Structure formats: C-alpha cells, structure tokens
Amino acid sequence: MRVWLNGSLLTDPTGPAVPVTDHGLTVGDGVFEAVKVVDGRPFALERHLDRLRRSADALGLTGVDLDAVRRGVAAVLDGADLPLGRLRITVTGGPAPMGSGRGDAAPTVVVAVDAMRPWPATTAVSTVPWPRNERGALAGVKSTSYAENVVALAAAQRAGASEAVFANLAGHLCEGTGSNVFYVVDGELRTPTLASGCLAGVTRALILEWYGGREVDEPIAVVDGASEVFLASTTRDVQAVARWNDRELVAPGQVTSEVAALWREREPELLGG
Ligand SMILES: Cc1ncc(COP(=O)(O)O)c(C=O)c1O
C-alpha cells in the first residue's frame, strides 16, 4: 500500500498519521471515493473527482482542493507496478472538537492505493430488512458514515452472499452497500432512479450511457420476476447475480453478457482520466 496524506507520501503507510480528534474518525464526517487502477492508470478519475466534490458540497465541507487530490493520485501511482488496484481518496472535516460541530481546521486529505483481486464473474445477493433513507441528509452522498453498510454486509455474508441489497423507505429497490443494481424484465434493462436514494454510481452512469437502460423505481419484489440481475460498481464492474436470496438465476444472462462485453471493450477509453 502507498499513502499520501495532506501533501506528502507516508514512509510508513500503516503507521499513525491522523490525529485522534479528526472529525472523520470521531463522527464519520468525511467523504470518499474508490477508483479502479488498471496497469497503473486510474479509471474515470475525473468522474470520481466530480462526485467527491458533490459529496463534499452536500456535507458543507469547503476548501477541498481537487488539484491537490490529483497530485496525491499521481504521487501514489508514480512508479507503482499495479496491474489491478484500487485508489481510496478520503477527505474529512479535519481535527475538530469532540462533538458533531465541525472545527475550523483544514480538511484532512488522504490518497491510498493498494492491489486488488478481481471479483468472480458471478455472485449471490441477500436483501436486508433495514431501509435506505432516500429523504435523509446523506442520501446519495458517498460519506464515510458507512456503518449501516457494515451491518448490512455482515448480515448478507452470514446468509452466504457477497452483497446486501436495500429497499428504500418507499419499499422500492434501491442499491447494495457498495454497488448499484440492474435487472431485466421482459427483455428490458432497468435500474432504480437517483431519487431512490442510491449513489450515483460511476459504473451505473457509464452503463446507461454506453448500453442504455430504463431508470425506474419499482417495489423491490420486482426482482422476483426478473430474468437477470447484475451488480455494477468500481470493483465489481458488471457482475452477474446467480442467487438472489433463495432464488437461483441464470448468470450471466444474455443482457448481462452483452453489457459486460461492452464494458470490457470501452473501459480503455477512460483509463488515465
Ligand atoms: C452505496 C454505493 N452504491 C453504489 C456504488 C457503486 O458506485 P461506483 O460505480 O461509482 O463504484 C458504491 C460504490 O462504491 C456505493 O458505495
């Protein structure tokens, strides 16, 4: 792992580096991005930086210098021998008093990179009983307050799945803990709208641009009648779902195979920027 913190590379990337008063640590006041790295080059970096800016704006985190983040990305990737990796960019409220109120320190900015193993081509998914709050202040924000995802993913893993999927307060299909959901009904590719409270996934947006699909909000039970389901995310790319709770699905189905092939074909267009 290589880590850049507030302007410099750390000599010991796993050693102590951020003060215990950092607002990201004490109350989860921060935003982050995960960016895929292929052959040492970041994928769709500018789209991720756009979303980082939007997430920071939603939290009122001002003074985030995206050029500094770009320098951090370049620093950790410089000379790295990384066929497949993941960048993690984190921006927090910085050192602050021990409560919800933010201090006046500059944000803490961290860029880390590590190698990554590809996900298998298919996976199992489990739905969880806790709703995503599409009306909450953090709806659609990639904030470091991810403990709800931690709890949901642990429940899914106990059920033998690699991803937990949430409905929202309206009972509509929403998203996974770290992925967006696509499904096929009557031959039509569909995915929840951003109003469902799901994250505006970079992978989701590119699939809609490159392949097409209908954004629609429907009760989560719609998936019981879907002929295909796949997950879309930075680390999974297009991953076919072979089991949804107890139901087995054809994986990959025809549409999923087409989307995955298109993804592999077009991915190089966004490497490096
Ligand atoms: C909650 C959530 N939904 C969806 C996604 C997928 O987004 P992306 O394709 O940008 O990785 C993520 C990714 O990290 C996520 O955390």
Instruction: Tell me the per-residue pLDDT of 123-182, one tens digit each, with 9 for 90 and over.
Output: 999 999 999 999 999 999 999 999 999 999 999 999 999 999 999 999 999 999 999 999
DSSP secondary structure of 142-206: -BS--HHHHHHHHHHHHTT-SEEEEEBTTSBEEEESS-EEEEEETTEEEE--GGGT----HHHHH
Question: Among the atoms of ligand 1, which is closest to the Cα of residue 233?
Answer: 9
| Residue 273: per-residue pLDDT | 64
> What's the pTM?
0.97
Q: Which of 88, 133, 202, 234 to mutate to test the pocket of ligand 1 (most atoms within 8 A of CB)?
A: 234
- Closest residue by Cα to atom 4, ligand 1, is 179
